[in-house]
């Protein structure tokens, strides 16, 4: 069934990769024999350009072709030279590869790999000379020359507690308190962000820099996490605070917040307990610890795995082993075995067989199948493990077998030894322990068995052994301890003010709620004042306050939904519209090293074909795929982008600009799997008779069998139509699409707005509404590039005042049903705001939750369109 549907998907495009460009790594280049390939799977184009500073190679595959990934080859006298060090993931419009050593006379081929493991190759192509690589790639050669980041990784360790101690720890676990958390959110203080478990010290200077009132009585300083007070140490003069913190690790965040306040009563403090010598002939030499290393290099959006993460590690391709480096400390080699688990994610749809070795020692093979996770357990001799750097080597050898590395876990006996002057460990009941490896005798020990209530152990016994010091622990009950040398407490990842808020109270009146990233609050208030001047009640909300009151300070999409649900249900004037101010991203933890771009989180959802971002889901309270509040987003990365967007709205909301007599443009694709011309006329027929309409066909409009013949003037015709007069009131496109184009750059796309050489530019200074009955034009969550909808919306000359487009893959038949309703209601004029038109149109597809969730409004839902 899926293959049947794919034939009519209006933009079959897999953006499974994390990046639009891949930097060439010359040290990894290798010669390869010509592959057993098919030339029938369609490369629509492949080209190479140079300005004398390397070569930019770009390609695009056919609309009905699917690719797992690509490899780029240069032809040499010795054969084909493979240029990319790993498979370039996915098929993306105008995907490119930069080869800094390329020359004008070089020739290349691009080889695609299907999900079944078969290959298809482009025709060989030469290199064209251009004025600047930036003209064809959108980036300077200097920018492209910087090798792409290697991607993220996560390294962690946890104790493997004995059952009795595990039960005691679980029994002491503090339940989080949302009622108290909301009380705390209304207090003045600071939020201390931490990213790892351990003992922290925050200085008075750091607190003052974040706006904390350090002149208050330090005995009344109180620290909270999860709405529950935590025991801390406060230096008597308030020069610093110290506390033990526990981190969080979710798909959307790796930062947990601790809230510090000046309170009216004495705060909870870390107590002390005297260590008393107890003799025992038995000494415990180790404890169980589990080390974990995960790679987060590649985002794959068409592996549907529900709420799980869609980032994985290195790609294993046949014949090219991958080395995974990681560090281990404290290995007790007197213990014979360690348990290792290695997990993978199937990438190709074939069977998998991954060979695994550690530090050159063969462990065995791990089988798997299709695009599913799989793993293998190995009982490893501890002699195979190395103190310090280790190398896990994984490889596949079967043709067509492509796999991604995920995680390695190692459960081993760890010696009682410090790592960088700190260590988390547990003691074995009534056995002595000696913790070695501290660089001074200034060691502090905390019993952290009870959650949130550590106890400092005093009267410690330390002895010097060579250049280091040993902590000698007497025999006692099993406890969980954290030991730290006095110079080794962690520094907080962030310390920021806690601005007071009370969103979770009924005393609010807002027809429109603006949820803004904190840096854009000034611009958000300006927007709000524009609507207030028109008589609309508006409330501007800092997204951090939503996190504080509905998720204990932690960034995520779920608290936005909870907040909006509360406001809709409980506020005196419940919101009818939500405007989000700030970009969203599929990479909330910045694995791609592109900077923080998930400024106001988007909800990631699984649709029939792909995982994508959905703003609709943020305001969907009953799970039917339809927002209960009309919602739109300004996907801004800077405040000036919001200022420019408001200027567009103010210009558009005039009688001249909202006059239907400005006309419409309907652009459409050739009938590749669907009658897009007929679709366009069906939608256009709902507009008032006499409204000027221009139709622009990508093809020549010839009857079969020549219906696919393209019009070489189609792009110029379309740009001319957009530039005519004072611009068109509304523009629609029906057909195949990509994130940055209508079909491809030869018809229409981002290059028609960015000044790219050789592309006619949209120069009309006036703004239009855009509806895009295609796929992926609204994919605003890519941290590497703006989608076509974003480029249109952000351009300062002309472009769109708002876009209604898809962030996913959907079929044109469903799009048509929704579009007919939208244009019908637009023509009637009884629904005057854009968000209401979108919301109403989505009600016509009760069974189309994919379309409901994945279609996004880039713009203001309160925009007056009539």
Return the pLDDT at 280.
75
Closest CA to 357 of 374, 380, 331: 380
For the chain, helix, strand, coil in percent to 5 are 20, 35, 45
CA nearest to 94, candidates 805, 752, 668: 752
Torsion of CA 153, 394, 325, 95, to 10 degrees: -50
Residue carrying structure tokens 């070489």: 712
Phi and psi torsions of 185, nearest 5°: -60, -20
Strand partners of residue 614? 603
Sheet of 855-858, strands arranged across: 538-542, 512-516, 577-581, 630-634, 855-858, 800-806, 768-773, 730-734, 664-668, 693-697
| Cα distance between residue 57 and residue 109, in whole Å | 9
Beta bridge partners of 192: 258, 495
- Kindly list the distances between the CA atom of residue 704 and the CA atoms of 40, 64, 700, 707, in Å, as whole numbers in the listed order: 22, 20, 11, 5
Residues found in the chain: 866
Q: How many CB atoms lie within 10 A of CB 615?
A: 29
Rounded distance between C-alpha atoms, residue 405 and residue 144, angstroms:
27
Residues 6+ apart with CB under 8 A from 768: 722, 727, 728, 729, 730, 731, 798, 799, 800, 801
Tell whether the torsion through CA atoms of 577, 582, 586 and 587 is positive or negative. negative
The Cα angle at residue 653 between residues 649 and 658, in degrees rounded to 5 = 120
- The answer to whether the beta carbons of residues 772 and 793 sit under 8 Å apart is no
Read out DSSP for 398-458?
A: STT--EEEEEEEEEEEEESB-BTTEEEEEPPTT-EEEEEEESSS-EEEEE--STT--EEEE
Question: Helix 812-828 and helix 676-684: axis angle, to 10°?
Answer: 20
Angle at 710 between CA 706 and CA 714, to 5 degrees: 145
Residue with tokens 């600009």: 657
CA distances from 674 to 260, 682, 708, 804, 816 (A): 60, 13, 12, 21, 11
Nearest to 815 by CA among 698, 736, 742: 736
Cβ(160)–Cβ(424) below 8 Å:
no
What is the maximal distance between C-alpha atoms in the chain?
100
Q: Is 772 helix (H, G, I), strand (E, B) or coil?
A: strand
Q: Pull the structure tokens for residue 562.
A: 């909870």
What is the three-state SS of 790-821?
HHHHHCCCCCEEEEEEECCCCCHHHHHHHHHH
Number of alpha carbons in the 13 Å side-chain half-sphere of residue 235: 11
The alpha helices in 113-177, defined as continuous H runs, are 133-137, 141-145, 163-172
Contacts of residue 78, Cβ cutoff 8 Å, sequence gap at least 6: 31
Helix (H) or strand (E) holding 299: strand 298-299
71, 60 Cβ separation under 8 angstroms: no
818-852 in b/e form (b: 16+ CB < 10 A) is bbbbbbbbbbeeebebbbbbbbbbbeebeebbbbb
Q: Which domains does the chain have, with CATH numbers?
A: 20-145 (2.60.40.10), 171-270+492-496 (no CATH), 274-283+417-485 (no CATH), 288-414 (2.60.120.260), 500-619 (3.40.50.12590), 648-858 (3.40.50.1460)
> Nearest 5°: CA angle at 478, between 472 and 483?
45
Q: How many CB atoms lie within 10 A of CB 116?
A: 11
Sheet order of strands, 455-458 included: 271-274, 455-458, 443-447, 480-485, 422-426
Residue with the two structure tokens 């006095």: 486
Rounded Cα–Cα distance for residues 398 and 20 (Å): 28
Q: Is 241 helix (H, G, I), strand (E, B) or coil?
A: strand
Question: For 77-162, where are the alpha helices, taking DSSP H only?
Answer: 133-137, 141-145
Q: In this structure, what token pair is assigned to residue 157? A: 């360790």
Return d(Cα 564, Cα 602) in angstroms, integer.
14
Q: List alpha helices for 638-686, DSSP H.
A: 639-652, 676-684
Average pLDDT per consecutive 10 residues, the chain (866 residues; last block may be shorter): 31 34 34 45 84 90 77 92 86 69 94 87 92 79 62 92 97 97 98 98 98 96 98 98 98 98 98 86 94 95 92 93 97 97 96 98 97 98 98 95 97 98 95 97 98 98 97 95 98 98 98 99 99 99 99 98 99 99 96 90 95 97 96 98 98 96 98 96 97 98 96 98 96 95 92 89 97 96 93 94 96 95 97 98 86 97 98
Backbone region of residue 420 per phi and psi (left: phi > 0; alpha: psi in -120 to 50; beta: other values): left
């Amino acid at each position: 069934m899926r293959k049947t549907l794919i034939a009519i998907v209006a933009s079959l495009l897999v953006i499974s990769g994390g990046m639009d460009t891949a930097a060439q790594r010359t040290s990894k280049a290798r010669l390869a024999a010509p592959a057993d390939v098919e030339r029938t799977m369609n490369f629509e184009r492949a080209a190479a350009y140079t300005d004398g500073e390397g070569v930019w190679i770009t390609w695009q595959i056919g609309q009905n072709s699917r690719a797992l990934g690509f490899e780029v080859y240069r032809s040499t006298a010795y054969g084909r030279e493979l240029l990319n060090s790993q498979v370039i993931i996915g098929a993306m419009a105008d995907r490119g590869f930069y080869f800094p050593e390329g020359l004008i006379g070089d020739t290349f081929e691009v080889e695609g790999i299907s999900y079944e493991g078969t290959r298809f190759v482009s025709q060989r192509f030469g290199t064209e000379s251009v004025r600047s690589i930036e003209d064809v790639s959108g980036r300077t050669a200097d920018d492209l020359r910087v090798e792409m980041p290697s991607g993220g990784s996560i390294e962690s360790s946890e104790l493997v507690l004995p059952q009795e101690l595990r039960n005691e720890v679980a029994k002491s676990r503090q339940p989080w308190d949302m009622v108290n958390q909301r009380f705390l959110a209304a207090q003045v203080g600071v939020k201390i962000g931490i990213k790892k478990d351990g003992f922290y010290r925050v200085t008075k200077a750091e607190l003052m820099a974040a706006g904390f009132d350090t002149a208050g009585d330090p005995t009344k300083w109180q620290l909270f996490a999860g709405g529950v007070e935590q025991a801390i140490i406060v230096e008597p003069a308030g020069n610093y605070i110290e506390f033990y913190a526990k981190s969080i690790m979710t798909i959307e965040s790796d930062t947990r917040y601790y809230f510090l306040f000046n309170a009216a009563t004495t705060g909870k403090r870390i107590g002390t307990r005297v260590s008393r010598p107890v003799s025992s002939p038995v000494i415990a030499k180790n404890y169980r610890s589990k080390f974990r290393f995960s790679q987060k290099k590649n985002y794959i959006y068409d592996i549907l795995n529900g709420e799980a993460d869609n980032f994985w590690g290195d790609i294993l391709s046949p014949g090219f082993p991958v080395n995974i480096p990681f560090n281990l400390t404290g290995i007790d080699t007197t213990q014979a075995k360690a348990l290792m688990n290695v997990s993978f994610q199937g990438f190709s749809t074939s069977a998998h067989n991954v060979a695994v070795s550690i530090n050159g020692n063969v462990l065995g093979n791990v089988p798997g199948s299709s695009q599913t996770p799989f793993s293998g357990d190995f009982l490893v001799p501890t002699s195979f493990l190395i103190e310090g750097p280790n190398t896990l080597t994984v490889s596949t050898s079967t043709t067509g077998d492509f796999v991604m590395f995920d995680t390695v876990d190692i459960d081993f006996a760890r010696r009682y030894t410090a790592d960088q002057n700190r260590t988390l460990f547990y003691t074995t009941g009534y056995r002595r322990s000696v913790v070695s490896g501290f660089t001074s005798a200034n060691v502090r020990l905390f019993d952290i068995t009870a959650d949130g209530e550590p106890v400092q152990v005093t009267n410690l016994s330390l002895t010097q052994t060579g250049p280091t010091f040993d902590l000698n622990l007497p025999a006692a009950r099993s406890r969980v301890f954290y030991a730290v040398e006095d110079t080794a407490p962690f520094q907080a990842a962030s310390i920021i003010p806690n601005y007071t808020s009370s969103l979770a109270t009924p005393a609010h009146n807002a027809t429109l709620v603006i949820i803004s990233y904190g840096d854009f609050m000034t611009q958000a208030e300006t927007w709000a004042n524009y609507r207030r001047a028109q008589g609309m009640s508006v409330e501007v909300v800092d997204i951090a306050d939503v996190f504080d009151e509905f998720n204990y300070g932690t960034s995520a999409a779920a608290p936005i939904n909870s907040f909006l649900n509360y406001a809709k249900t409980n506020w005196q004037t419940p919101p009818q519209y939500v405007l989000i101010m700030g970009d969203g991203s599929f990479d909330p933890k910045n694995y791609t090293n592109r900077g923080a771009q998930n400024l106001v989180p988007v909800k990631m959802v699984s649709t029939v074909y792909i995982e994508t971002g959905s703003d609709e889901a943020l305001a969907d309270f009953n799970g039917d795929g339809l927002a209960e509040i009309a919602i739109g987003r300004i996907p801004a990365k800077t405040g000036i982008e919001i200022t420019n967007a408001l200027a567009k709205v103010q210009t558009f909301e005039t009688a001249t600009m909202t006059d239907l007599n400005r006309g419409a443009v309907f652009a459409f694709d050739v009938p590749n799997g669907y009658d897009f011309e007929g679709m366009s006329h069906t939608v256009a027929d709902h507009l008032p008779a006499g409204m000027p309409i221009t139709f622009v066909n990508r093809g020549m409009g010839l009857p079969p069998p020549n219906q696919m013949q393209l019009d070489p003037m189609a792009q110029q015709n379309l740009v001319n139509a957009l530039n005519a007069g004072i611009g068109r009131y509304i523009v629609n496109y029906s057909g195949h699409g990509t994130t940055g184009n209508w079909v491809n750059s030869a018809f229409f796309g981002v290059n028609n707005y960015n000044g790219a050489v050789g592309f006619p530019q949209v120069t009309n200074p006036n703004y239009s509404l855009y509806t895009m009955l295609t796929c992926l034009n609204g994919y605003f969550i890519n941290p590497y590039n703006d989608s076509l909808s974003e480029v249109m919306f952000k351009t300062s000359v002309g472009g769109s005042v708002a876009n209604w487009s898809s962030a996913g893959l959907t079929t044109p038949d469903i799009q048509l049903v929704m579009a007919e309703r939208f244009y019908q209601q637009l023509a009637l004029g009884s629904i005057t705001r854009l968000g209401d038109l979108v919301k109403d149109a989505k009600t016509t597809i009760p069974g189309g939750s994919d379309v409901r969730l994945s279609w996004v409004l880039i713009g203001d839902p309160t925009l007056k369109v009539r």
